[in-house]
């Protein structure tokens, strides 16, 4: 990729552990507290590129709604509309970083990269990891090598594509993994950006306009040994426009869940089938209540998308008023595997 004309990186601060400090009023619990300038001020050395800070929010990511995530993505678009911006860094809580980053990736239509990062240790820890992660994220956001890569997560020296990424450790510093789509690269000990893989970019979807309307209800329901259809039925009764079924194995349920899926589909609720397994595609193979019967009942397989990101794609499509056939086509596209020809070395 060629260099870009931008002169600085924009830091969009949204809170999370990287901004958190223990508060006596909260019984010693950590809460998001630092504004973006304070987060940036924690760097041990000057950042690789000049940085302009924009405060978007200051809260733990476990509190975010889809509407909040849409608002963050809107700020990304505003930042990238400025030709002097090389790239964008979003500091974000790790709990739902995989959701917001994926929404940003689905709606990203610019060559400049967007890089999400955060921390596993709070800002007032004896040895916080946030400053190192932020320094790395700024280096990637400004690097010509990252142009055209879309939305990335940079954490503990690793660079991941947003699609397929998930938090795999509750407290360990190497918090993220991407079992199906792998790593996009890494940073060296001296802060150099090394890109080892460039995946084919998916066509961007529109971002709902601001202010976004109230998001349509989308629920996640788990399949488990002995599960019946009660939770699926309750979701439909609560007004869900969509349901993500977190199935077992390659996307399996049981006869009771198949009956509930058929009833949900008949009521106009879009049901998609993901899996609790960490890697591999959802493929309808089995009968007797398995994946093939779920598809026959009206469920849509999500391919390689896990429940967290299936929720985001389904929510966005429903927000855009896409019908069931359009939703099925979108999951076939955005949940598809990447071929070897899409990789670089």
* Predicted confidence (pLDDT) at residue 6 exceeds the cutoff of 90: no
Burial 248-268 (b: 16+ CB within 10 A, else e): bbbbbbbebbbbbbbbbbeee
Query: Does residue 112 sit in helix, strand or coil?
Result: coil
In this predicted model, what pLDDT tens digit does every residue of 254-302 receive, in sequence order?
A: 999 999 999 999 999 999 999 999 999 999 999 999 999 999 999 999 9
Q: Cα separation of 79 and 175, whole Å?
A: 27
Does 17 participate in catalysis according to the annotation? yes
Tell how far CA 129 is from the center of its chain: 21
Choose the catalytic residue: 2, 7, 14, 17: 17
In this predicted model, what pLDDT tens digit does every residue of 40-83 receive, in sequence order?
A: 999 999 999 999 999 999 999 999 999 999 999 999 999 999 99
Would you say 154 and 116 are in contact if contact means Cβ atoms under 8 Å apart?
yes
Q: Cα separation of 274 and 337, whole Å?
A: 15
């Amino acid at each position: 990729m060629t260099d870009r004309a931008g002169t600085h990186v924009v830091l969009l601060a949204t809170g999370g552990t990287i901004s958190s400090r223990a508060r006596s009023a909260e019984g010693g619990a950590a809460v998001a507290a630092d504004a973006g300038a304070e987060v940036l001020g924690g760097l041990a050395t000057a950042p690789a590129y000049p940085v302009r800070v924009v405060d978007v929010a200051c809260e733990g990511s476990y509190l975010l709604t889809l509407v909040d995530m849409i608002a963050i993505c809107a700020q990304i678009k505003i930042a990238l509309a400025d030709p002097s911006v090389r790239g964008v860094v979003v500091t974000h809580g790790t709990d739902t970083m995989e959701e917001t980053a994926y929404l940003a990736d689905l709606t990203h239509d610019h060559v400049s990269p967007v890089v999400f990062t955060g921390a596993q240790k709070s800002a007032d820890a004896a040895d916080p990891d946030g400053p190192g992660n932020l320094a790395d994220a700024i280096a990637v956001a400004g690097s010509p090598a990252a142009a055209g890569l879309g939305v990335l997560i940079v954490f503990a020296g690793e660079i991941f594509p947003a699609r397929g990424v998930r938090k795999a450790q509750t407290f360990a510093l190497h918090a993220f993994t991407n079992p199906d789509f792998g790593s996009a690269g890494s940073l060296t000990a001296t802060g150099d950006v090394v890109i080892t893989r460039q995946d084919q970019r998916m066509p961007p979807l529109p971002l709902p306009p601001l202010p976004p309307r109230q998001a349509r209800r989308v629920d996640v329901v788990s399949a488990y040994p002995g599960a019946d259809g009660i939770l699926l039925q309750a979701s439909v009764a609560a007004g869900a426009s969509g349901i993500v079924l977190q199935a077992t194995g390659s996307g399996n349920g049981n006869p009771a869940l198949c009956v509930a899926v058929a009833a949900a589909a008949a009521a106009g609720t879009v049901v998609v089938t993901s899996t609790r397994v960490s890697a591999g595609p959802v493929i309808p193979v089995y009968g007797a209540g398995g994946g093939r019967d779920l598809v026959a009942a009206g469920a849509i397989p999500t391919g390689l998308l896990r429940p967290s990101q299936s929720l985001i794609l389904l929510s966005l499509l429903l927000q855009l008023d896409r019908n069931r056939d359009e939703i099925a086509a979108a999951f076939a596209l955005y949940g598809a595997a990447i071929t070897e020809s899409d990789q670089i070395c």
